Chains A and B, each alone.
Chain A
Amino acid sequence: MNTDANSISIQLDGKVHPVPVGVTVAAALSLRGDGTTRRSVQGERRAAFCGMGICQECRVMINGQRRLACQTLCAQGMIVHTLSSKVIP
C-alpha cells in the first residue's frame, strides 16, 4: 500500500490505508473515514473537537495505547483503533 515517498500506510480499525506523510491521526480518520473517534457515554458519535489536546474527544487506541488523535502524527505501520463501535467507560 505504500505507494510513493509522500505517503505512508497505517491501519485504521483493521484496514490498511495510505495517508500523506506528516498528517495527524485526527486528519487521517477524516481523510479515510468519517472522522469518528469514539462514542459518548450515551452512545453518540463524537469526533475531534478542540484540535489542541484539551477536550479528549479524539482519544483513540494507537499501537495499544490510548492517545489523542489530534496530537499524534501518523507513522508507517501505526495501528489505530477508534472507540466508535463500543461504549467506553
Chain B
Amino acid sequence: MKTVRPHYCDVLIIGSGPAGMAAALAAAPAGASIVMVDDNPAPGGQIWRGGPGVQLPSEAKMRREALLRHANITQLNSTKLVAVPHSKEVLLEDAIQGWCLRYDKAIICTGARELLLPFPGWTLPGVTGAGGLQALIKGGLSVRGERIVVAGSGPLLLVVAATAKAAGAEVLRVAEQAPLSAVAAFAASLVHWPSKAVQALGLIHTGYRTSSHVLAASGQGHLESVRLQQGAHMIDMACDRLACGFGLIPNTQIGQALGCAVDEHNAIAVDAWQACSLPDHFAAGECTGFGGSERALVQGRIAGLAAVAKRADALALWPSRQRWDAFSASLQHHFTLEPPIKSLATPDTIVCRCEDVRYGQIASCNSWIDAKLTTRCGMGACQGRVCGAAAQHLFGWSLPVPRTPLTPTRISTFVQKAVKIDSSE
C-alpha cells in the first residue's frame, strides 16, 4: 500500500470520529481537497472503533465506505499532529516520518477523553479507564471469565458493562456516583430522545448502583480487590479488573495550539456555524462539549458545509443540532460529579502517573504552574493530559495553552521541520 503524505489541502479535518467523518462527507461534494488526520489505525473514533470481533453498526460502516468513494478525501490514519510551526500549517508524524502540511480551512474534531481521577491503587495493572477498558476489549483484549467492576459516572458505564459482558466477563458491579434522583430524572428525560431511551433499555444491568463510588483498589502487583462506597455502606469486592471513568472532557489541546479559544466549560468555543474564534477554523463533536455521536454527526455536517461555504445547507441542520444540544445539556446536568469524588486521593496517592508525583506533594501548591515547577507534576510523557485535567477538577486550577510538541515526537520529525523552514528562507 502506497503511503501518501500530502503537503497541502483545502480542508484539514483533525480527528476521524463521527464528527470528522460527517464533516468530510459533507464537504467532499464541493470538490475541495480534504485530508483527515487521526492517530488511530482506522477511522471511527472511540464509539466506532473497529477490531477483532467488533460488529460495527451499519451507520459506521456506511460512512467508512462513503469516505473511500470520494477521490478528494485522503485519510491519514496512525498519524499524529505534533506541532503547529506556522499559521495554517501543522507538523504531522506517522510510523515512518514527519512532514508539514499546509491548509486553507481546518475542522477540529478531536473528541473527548475520560476524566480519570486519582484514588488509592489506581496505578495498579488491572485498573483502566471505563471507556479505556471498552477500547482495549475492542482491540482484542480478552476478559473472558474475568470479574469486573465498572465505576465512575455517566451512561458510558452501562455501555462498558455491556461490552465486557458480551466479551465473556462477569460484571459484578456498576457503581454510578450520581444519586438515584439524578439518574431517574435523566432516564425520564429520555422520552425526548426515543432512540436513546431504546438504547438505555438494552443496557439495564442488575448490578447497577447509584450514589456509589470507588474508594480504593488494592492488590500485589495487579488488581485483586476494589473497595466501594455504596450509599452508606463500604464494601470490598474481589475482582480482576476495575474500569473507572468520571465522565468525558473535551480534547481542546490541538484546537488551543492552533489558536482557538475555549469556552467557560473548557470546550472549544464555536458559533452557530461551528466556527471557532480563529478565522477559517471550525470545530465539531465532543471537543466542543460532550453530548454523544448524534450531536457530533450533525455538528460535523454543519462544520463541513460551512467550511466549503454551503451556508444554506448548513442552516437547514440547525434544528436537528438543537435537539441533540438539549440532550447534551441534560447529560451534563444530571451526571455532575458529587463532592466526595474530590477527596478520593490520600496524601501518598500518585496523581501524576508519568512522574510518580503524589497528592501530598501538590496539595499545598497554589497553581498548576507552581505544581509543575516544584514537583514535575504534568511534565512527563502525557504532558499532563491525565493529571492536569484531574488537578483542574480537584483544585480548580486553570491550565495554560498547551505547548508543542503536543505528544512525544521523534527527533527526526523535528529535523524534517527544521529542514523545511531552512529551505523556505
Identify the A interface with B (CB < 8 A). Answer: 19-24, 26-28, 30-31, 34-36, 40-42, 44-57, 59, 65-67, 70-73
Q: Top 4 nearest A-B pairs by Cβ distance?
A: A23-B140, A51-B132, A27-B140, A51-B135
Nearest chain A CB to B46's CB is how many angstroms away?
A: 6
Q: Nearest-CB distance from B154 to chain A (Å)?
A: 16
With A and B bound together, what is the CA distance between A80 and B126 in angstroms?
A: 21
A23 touches B51 (CB 8 A): yes
A50:B142 contact, CB within 8 angstroms: no
Interface residues of B in 123-157 (CB under 8 A from A): 123, 125-129, 131-136, 139-142
**Which residues of chain B are near A35, meaning CB under 8 Å?**
125
- Chain A residue with minimal CB distance to B45? A52
The minimal Cβ–Cβ distance linking A35 to chain B, given in whole angstroms, is 6
Q: Is the CB of B139 within 8 A of A27?
A: yes
CA separation between A20 and B354, bound complex, in Å? 31
Inside 8 A of A70's CB, which chain B residues have their CB? 135-136, 139
Question: A67: which B residues are within 8 A, CB to CB?
Answer: 95
Q: Which residues of chain A come closer than 8 Å to B141, judged between CB atoms?
A: 24, 26-27, 30-31
Q: Is B266 an interface residue (CB 8 A)?
A: no
B residues lining the A interface (CB < 8 Å): 39-41, 46, 51-52, 78, 95, 113-114, 116, 123, 125-129, 131-136, 139-142, 221-222, 350, 353-356, 380-382, 385-386, 408, 410
With a CB–CB cut-off of 8 A, which chain B residues contact A73? 41
- A71 & B78 in contact (Cβ 8 Å cutoff): yes
Please pick, from B52, B114, B222, B410, the residue contacting A34 in the complex, using a CB distance under 8 A.
B222
**Distance between B224 CB and nearest chain A CB, rounded to angstroms:** 14
Q: Which residues of A contact B129 (CB under 8 A)?
A: 49-52
Q: Are A24 and B51 in contact (CB under 8 A)?
A: yes
Q: Contact at A26–B136, with CB atoms within 8 Å?
A: yes
Closest Cβ neighbor of B42 among chain A residues = A73
Whether A56 lies near B39 (C-beta < 8 A) is: no
Q: Which residues of chain B are near A19, meaning CB under 8 Å?
A: 140
